[in-house]
Amino acid sequence: MALQEYSIVRLELVRRERRLPLPGEVLVEKGEQVEPDIIVAQTEYIPGDPYVVDLRSDMGLKRFDLDQMRESIEVEPGQRVAKGQRLANLSTGLFSRSRTAESPVDGVVEYVSAVHARILIREEPQSAEPVVVVNVARHLDVWPAMVRMYLRYREGQKVEQGAILAASPGSGGMDYAYAPATGTIERVDVHNGLVYIVRPQQVTRVTAYISGEVVEIIPDEGVVVQGQGLVINGVFGLGRENYGELLILGEAGERVSADNLGDEVAGRIVAVPGPVDADVFLRAEELGARGLIVGGADEMDLVEYLGEEVVSGITGDEPIDMTVILTEGFGRVLMSPEVFEVLRNNEGSLVSVNGRTQVRAGAQRPEIVIPASAEDGRDVRAGVGAEEADPQPGQLVRIITTPHFGAFGEIVEVFPTGKRYETEAELPSVRVRLRDGKDTVIPIMNVEFFSGPVP
């Protein structure tokens, strides 16, 4: 049984790497104190387009020999090339005429095919030109003043890379001018026969995500932020990283419906200890809540909120603005008193949440990070039926299957050789005294037990 141990609540030095997907600018300095909403790095870039270099056309070859083509190619996949750099060189004919092909952009060679005589280059976003000029008149071999006649796009229209920008009847059929990049037609120059395409610029920003200190700068890429925090792990989540002021809605056991939600949830992370109605999710997002932490929710309610089936394997990339975290599981289960107590004590704090969940391989659970000081000490770890740590009388457990799903209790007796259930299965078990004083016998595999101090 290789079972993962994860925590319910733990105090720790939280360390998070904050990295840009592409090189950019780091906006903070080492030693600086940051809050979750501070932008620590950003990059502006034009998404690079792939360019296909047709060697046969560029080198003016009607046919070629495969071995000769292999030898003529001077670049290989992974290699960086500069605009104008020679990609292939072939000497042909009686006078060894040199035929070459050059790179149209700065970029990285992605694929080389001697069989098809093509080289694919991925343009580098950093050096991508914001404006691309296409000499349509030359491509179509027409007078510049006539260009507009053959154009398939007008100024202001969007064009995709590879689309036919203009076409005209040529000597051997149609001649085409293709759009080398995705963008918007900015201008048509009828004096020179040129078309200007402006490429969209994108900005990517990375926030600090947690409150803490910038302890490391990763040049051109990002930072490492570290801070003392109380980390609460849920069991299932949806949506990306988010942050906001923590707001508690309702009391333990109190049912919450959409009518209980008002403008105060906007921009906040809302925690509801009691059962929630299906309409709460959509309403909270509509009102601008950034996160919703609940004990449990019906899977059907989450499907309604998401607009699609819930995928249990890996979550976190759902197209939703509000992050959802279930601290106990599926079903309208109440939030455990341990978690609720920690959240209530920190109402008003700027907390960070991340819904990403991966049950297999690496076992990532959703998290709530609350800024804390070292004195806030509390550390409760849970393992699901972990084999190494034999259950002991006195240990606190949480039951994770029906009946008594979500109930907490204390082990009063251990049955290592097994107990027989109504299913007629005989399984190693424990007797648990629930908080209402009643006893229940439950298989070891169906409890999470805590190896840390009891809260």
The two structure tokens encoding residue 335? 């939030």
Q: Shortest gap between Cβ of 101 and other proteins (angstroms)?
A: 18
The footprint of other proteins on this chain (CB under 8 A) covers a number of residues equal to 47
| 136/285 Cα distance (integer angstroms) | 49
Which residues inside 3-42 make contact with other proteins, applying CB under 8 A?
3
| 62 is an interface residue for other proteins by CB under 8 A | no
Residue number, 111 or 415, with CB nearest to other proteins: 111
| 425 is an interface residue for other proteins by CB under 8 A | yes
- For residues 176 and 192, the answer to whether their CB atoms sit within 8 Å is no
Q: Quick one: which of 56, 405, 413, 415 contacts other proteins (CB under 8 A)?
A: 405
Closest-CA residue to 270 (of 302, 294, 238): 294
Stretch that binds other proteins, among 177-185, 285-293, 317-325, 355-363 (CB under 8 A): 355-363
Residue number, 26 or 235, with CB nearest to other proteins: 235
Helix (H, G, I), strand (E, B) or coil at 193: coil
| 65 is an interface residue for other proteins by CB under 8 A | no
- For residues 125 and 53, the answer to whether their CB atoms sit within 8 Å is no
Residue number, 149 or 425, with CB nearest to other proteins: 425
Residue number, 112 or 151, with CB nearest to other proteins: 112
Q: Shortest gap between Cβ of 421 and other proteins (angstroms)?
A: 4
Q: How is 296-365 classified by DSSP, letter by letter?
A: EE-HHHHHHHHTSPPPSSEES--S-SSEEEEEEEESSPPPPHHHHHHHHHTTTSEEEEE--EE-STT-B-
Q: Quick one: which of 46, 384, 430, 432 contacts other proteins (CB under 8 A)?
A: 384
Stretch that binds other proteins, among 31-39, 201-209, 328-336, 342-350 (CB under 8 A): 328-336
Residue number, 223 or 384, with CB nearest to other proteins: 384
| 299 is an interface residue for other proteins by CB under 8 A | yes
Stretch that binds other proteins, among 111-119, 246-254, 284-292, 346-354 (CB under 8 A): 111-119
| 116 is an interface residue for other proteins by CB under 8 A | yes
Q: Quick one: which of 10, 325, 442, 449 contacts other proteins (CB under 8 A)?
A: 442
**37 backbone dihedrals φ, ψ, rounded to 5°:** -90, 0
Neighbouring C-beta atoms of residue 59, cutoff 10 Å: 21
| 403 is an interface residue for other proteins by CB under 8 A | yes
B/e letters for 283-297, b = 16+ CB within 10 Å, e = fewer, are bbbebebbbbbbbbb
| 105 is an interface residue for other proteins by CB under 8 A | no
Q: Quick one: which of 93, 94, 95, 115 contacts other proteins (CB under 8 A)?
A: 115
| 122/141 Cα distance (integer angstroms) | 28
How would you classify the pairing of strands 118-123 and 131-135?
unpaired
Stretch that binds other proteins, among 97-105, 176-184, 199-207, 443-451 (CB under 8 A): 443-451
Q: Quick one: which of 1, 94, 203, 374 contacts other proteins (CB under 8 A)?
A: 1
The backbone region for 394, taken as left when phi is positive above 0, alpha when psi lies in -120 to 50, beta otherwise, is left
Neighbouring C-beta atoms of residue 438, cutoff 10 Å: 11
Long-range contacts of 98-103 (CB under 8 A, 24+ apart): 99/59, 99/60, 99/61, 100/58, 100/59, 101/53, 101/55, 101/58, 101/59, 102/58, 103/51, 103/53
Residue number, 346 or 357, with CB nearest to other proteins: 357
Binding residues vs other proteins (CB under 8 A): 1-3, 50, 66, 77, 110-116, 120, 235-236, 298-300, 309-313, 329-331, 357, 359-360, 384-385, 400-403, 405, 421-425, 427, 442-443, 445-446
